[in-house]
Structure 1
Amino acid sequence: MSHGPREHGSAAEPLAARLRFRVAPDYPGFDRTRMLSLAVGNTGKVYAFAEEDCREWYRRFVDEVLAAVAERRYLPVYRMADGEYSFVLGPAEEQLPLRRLRPRQLARRVLNRVLGRRGGHRSGSHGYGWEVYTPRERRALLDAYAADLRLVADRGYLALAMGDSGLSDPWMPGILDWLDARGVRLHAGNYQHMYAVYALMNGPDRERLLRGRRVLVVNHADAARQAAIGDALATAGAVGARFISISREKAMLERLDPRALRDPVDLVLVGAGVGAANVLRQLEPLGVPALDVGFALDIMAQPELRWRRPFCVPDDEFDPARVEFLSPEKLALLGARRRRGDDAHPRDQSS
């Protein structure tokens, strides 16, 4: 069954030039998140291959994921953000000039040099933990990592955090040049923004994805975390949850045997940091979609974390007073607006 073209852009034009369009992030079920951002002056847009409506771009992605579930077709989706960019190019404190470093970044830069850790890697979150590779491990893994990305780009989607924001600035255009140099062919048919994965896992399409599905979760999880994630999946309508627990610190070195699963599954949800690329490649024999959803699993285990990132709380549950993903300056502005009695959610003027 056809599932749409896997488009390929001109090999002669660099990725940084082809990603010249900017699109306002806008996803079904998250109007209040978008309006709150506009209310405090967040007008940043995300990188795109064409000038188009973000919801239409997102809908094509969701439709292909759901079609792959129905067809039992391997479709890997891998997210890349500051942690993955840091793994490829080195941490921000090693990329930025000294004048742009914050005091804590400058201290880390000096400490890494003194301790001989320059070129190593550490990334993660307080909700999950930290992935750590020595400088030697990181250098040895980069070729395999690039090969994993080429597989995902050929068979599925790369969901990258790229936009007009400080999150990706230190690594632009370096990460785009690296993808080109390593033969990772990113184009309109295999690229999404990372927010699309958050919207899928936390918005109105979540039930369409999970209801009636047998779900395999590949993640570092103790019994309590597995129970919480299993309960969240059941609430969303999944009919069963299986777990493979992996290394939290070194998922790039993990080796899986998915054929050892006794019962079939319809969908795999992965949370493995940078190492999710390695995990996704090894899940191909299952012949079902394998989605690197990362932080969405953290939310299932600890629901209070959802206030820390945008597009994780749908409109019917949204409370601007609990939002934690805005900068202190933006939160102060929001507080001032509330004290004046201003509307924190301006009317959408778009047609």
Structure 2
Amino acid sequence: MNFEWRWPWAGPVGLLLAVVLIVVWMVFSSHRHSKIAQLPVYHLDEDLNIEHVVDQFHQWRLLGRTATALLVVSLLLSLATISRPSTIDKADERASNRDIILCLDVSPSMLSYDHEVLAAYQELISNFKGERIGLSIFNSTSRTLFPLTDDYRLASDQLKKAGDILGKVSSQDKIDRTDARTRQDFSDLIDGTQNRKDQTSLIGDGLVSCAAMLPGFTYGKSNKTPAQSDKASIVLATDNFSGSSTYTLASALDLTHQAGIVVDGMYAGPSANEHDETTIQMENDIVSHGGSYFSVHSGKPIESLVQGIEKRKNQDEQHIRRTALVDTPGWWTLALAVLVVLWICLAWRLNR
């Protein structure tokens, strides 16, 4: 914290004006006294020259001088307050934290892993402070489960609810033994994600739909560059089994990259397919566009993702570091108020 005056010229200007007014007052006062001096003057010194009266007079004169001193100091404090005493706050100015979209593939091939991914998402949001989170699920089309929000309790409840439902259909054996209520819950959950016939797991289209949940994203080319990031991220969880989509994963990543959105990839398919050519291509596409890639089968994937998000968050905050000039009239105003109250008390005593 560094102290400075925001209007340093106001004090001297005010002091100069006060001096001019005092000089003018003294000139008129002396002129009036010169006229009075021409009149007969009767002195009461001898009549008032008794001990009690002299003590009262001395007290009156002391109070008068003290009141005058208080007025002078109050004037100086007023001029100081007008000059706007301020401190320089060098703390970081944070307009907002990162917006994060959780983008989940709910195609049939992912049902065995979706409840694990949702559990990982719950662990992920437990590490957030201030970020806004949204969740979108997709198959041939997309559906928003909840939009961007910083209500972590709501987000956690929705993730748990969806995870419980998907956990009951995570295998063919569980599907065969499921009851009517569970089937209805599952149907309600994925309703709106299968609106294109004979199509499934359109990863590129799903990613673009998730990006559309972020403010400022537009389909097509963006005027923004990656350096102009809006502090937005997407966590894409998929097994990389894609149908014939309008957008390939690479073209969808191009769009998000142009819009300043970082996409982190979470592979959630069979561990045996982690080293397939298509899976490696998915990793290369995500990493080449500035995102991080990991598998749910690897050790501590959520910790790696949180570290990546925090690292990017810290980089963004370095770019928006500002110094702010903050008015701090507190003690000056308090001192001025105390002096004015004392002066009022003295003036009241003098009038008596």
Q: TM-score, normalised by structure 2?
A: 0.24
Q: Which has the higher helix share?
A: 2
Computing the radius of gyration from Cα coordinates, the structure with the larger value is 2
